Every structure is written in structure tokens, then in C-alpha cells.
């Protein structure tokens, strides 16, 4: 069983070895997360050239060598050669995170299918059993999270900051935060205007104060 996490890789060096369609997909998501991406490959696909045109990423036009991994936080072994991918993995230090796109069992992490919009991220993995199914599950889940849902999540972020500021005791905070996350509150918040939303938060804080 793998351990699911949300990694902060902003400003960290990410080395993608290979320049084919799989490398492109991984490079794109690393860029979105703010990593400093370096692509190592003698050849790159057109879609990778397009990424190079619009983003601050480096392309080292060469075959992989262990020195390419210096200072890398994350490594993606995405060549079409099993031997090379294995060599990349063996060349990494134990503290570097390595994803081998051809071998989930030997990877220190695998990449889930995901949907990200503002504060909401939904990720699905089948532990490599069926990446195509992970992708389909995400496409189906995506339907549930329309613009009103995303703005509700953004509102919850503001509410959380307000509740932490206003309420010093942890059980009161927990009570309010659970109420904000309830489906009843979600329905009200999604239908409300910004001014009405502020009023909804005020009511929750008022109810808590009355209980004191």
C-alpha cells in the first residue's frame, strides 16, 4: 500500500529523463506545481518543444548520465528503454523521489490521475492496476465539481481563516468547521451571493458565541 501525499515542489529541481509523450505529460504537471524542470533527452516530441517555448524549462539534448540528477528533488525515468530507466533509478540517491513510468513496483512514488481547480484537488490511483480506469474515474468525478462548488471551497478557505482568528478554543473551532463543511451549509453557500455568504458565516459564529 502506498502513502498518498500532496507534495510542495515549488522551486525544487525536477529532472525528467525522456522526451516522448509520457515525459511531456509528467513535465506539464511538474511545471503546474512550480518545479524547476530539466528535460534530459537526445530527442523530444513536438509537444515538449511547445512546453519549452512557453515555460522556463531546460532541455539538455543528450543521453542520460548520473550527474544529471545532482540536486534533483524529483526524478521521472520516462525513456522507452527499461535498462535506461533502471539505470536512472540506481543512479539516484535514496533521498531522491524517483518515478519509473514503466515499473510502479520499483518507483518510490507513482502519479495519480487528478483534477485540480483552485483549492480543490481530487486524485485517484489504482496502484498501477489500471491507469486508464483512474483517468475515467477522475473524468466522472469532475462532473460533480462545477464552478459553484469551486467557489464554495474558496469561501471555506476564507471561513477557516476567520474561525481560527475568532475562536480560541479547539472544540468550538471544530464544531464551526464541521458545520461549514456540512452538505446543508454547502447547499446554502452555493446558492448565496457574496454578501449573503458573509451573513451565513456570521450566523455560525453567533450560534457558537450564544453557546458560550
Ligand X SMILES: NC(=O)c1ccc[n+]([C@@H]2O[C@H](COP(=O)([O-])OP(=O)(O)OC[C@H]3O[C@@H](n4cnc5c(N)ncnc54)[C@H](O)[C@@H]3O)[C@@H](O)[C@H]2O)c1
Ligand Y SMILES: C[C@@]1(CC(=O)O)C2=NC(=C\c3[nH]c(c(CCC(=O)O)c3CC(=O)O)Cc3[nH]c(c(CC(=O)O)c3CCC(=O)O)/C=C3\N/C(=C\2)[C@@H](CCC(=O)O)[C@]3(C)CC(=O)O)/[C@H]1CCC(=O)O
| H or E, element range at 78 | none
Residue 107 interacts with ligand X (CB under 6 A): yes or no: no
Q: Would you call 177 helix, strand, or coil by DSSP?
A: helix
Q: Which residue has the cell 468525478?
A: 141
Question: What is the secondary structure of 128-150 as a DSSP string?
Answer: TS-HHHHHHHHHHHHTT--HHHH
- Among candidates 32, 40, 39, which has minimal Cα distance to 9? 32
Q: Which of 32, 49, 50, 63 binds ligand X (CB under 6 A)?
A: 63
Q: How far is the CB of 20 from ligand Y (least distance, A)?
A: 12
Considering the complex, state which of residue 63 and residue 71 has its C-beta at the smaller distance from ligand X.
63
Considering the complex, state which of residue 101 and residue 163 has its C-beta at the smaller distance from ligand X.
101
Q: Give CA–CA dist 70/82, Å, rounded.
A: 22
Q: How far is the CB of 96 from ligand Y (least distance, A)?
A: 15
Which does residue 127 bind out of ligand X, ligand Y, none, counting CB within 5 to 8 angstroms by kind? ligand Y
Q: How far is the CB of 103 from ligand X (least distance, A)?
A: 8
- Among candidates 179, 146, 145, which has minimal Cα distance to 160? 179
Residue 18 interacts with ligand Y (CB under 6 A): yes or no: no
Considering the complex, state which of residue 131 and residue 172 has its C-beta at the smaller distance from ligand X.
131
Q: Give CA–CA dist 17/80, Å, rounded.
A: 10
- Please report, as ranges, the residues that interact with ligand X according to CB under 6 A: 17-23, 40-44, 63-64, 78-81, 84, 101-102, 131
- Please report, as ranges, the residues that interact with ligand Y according to CB under 6 A: 25-26, 29, 99, 101-104, 110-113, 125-128, 130-132, 134-135, 138
Amino acid at each position: 500500500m502506498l502513502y498518498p501525499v500532496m507534495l510542495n515542489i515549488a522551486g525544487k529541481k525536477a529532472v525528467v529523463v525522456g522526451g516522448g509523450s509520457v515525459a511531456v505529460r509528467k513535465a506539464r504537471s511538474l511545471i503546474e506545481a512550480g518545479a524547476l524542470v530539466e528535460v534530459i533527452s537526445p530527442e523530444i516530441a513536438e509537444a515538449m518543444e511547445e512546453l519549452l517555448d512557453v515555460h522556463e524549462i531546460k532541455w539538455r539534448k543528450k543521453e542520460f548520465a548520473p550527474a544529471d540528477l545532482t540536486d534533483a528533488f524529483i526524478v521521472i525515468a520516462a525513456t522507452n528503454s527499461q535498462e535506461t530507466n533502471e539505470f536512472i533509478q540506481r543512479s539516484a540517491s535514496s533521498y531522491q523521489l524517483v518515478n519509473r513510468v514503466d515499473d510502479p513496483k520499483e518507483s518510490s512514488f507513482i502519479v495519480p490521475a487528478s483534477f485540480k481547480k483552485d483549492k480543490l484537488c481530487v486524485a485517484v490511483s489504482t496502484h498501477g492496476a489500471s491507469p486508464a480506469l483512474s483517468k475515467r474515474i477522475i473524468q466522472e468525478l469532475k462532473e460533480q465539481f462545477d464552478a459553484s462548488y469551486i467557489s464554495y471551497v474558496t469561501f471555506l478557505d476564507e471561513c477557516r481563516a476567520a474561525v481560527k482568528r475568532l475562536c480560541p478554543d479547539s472544540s468550538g473551532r471544530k464544531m464551526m468547521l464541521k458545520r461549514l463543511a456540512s452538505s446543508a451549509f454547502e447547499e446554502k453557500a452555493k446558492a448565496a451571493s457574496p454578501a449573503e455568504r458573509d451573513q451565513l458565516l456570521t450566523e455560525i459564529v453567533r450560534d457558537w458565541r450564544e453557546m458560550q
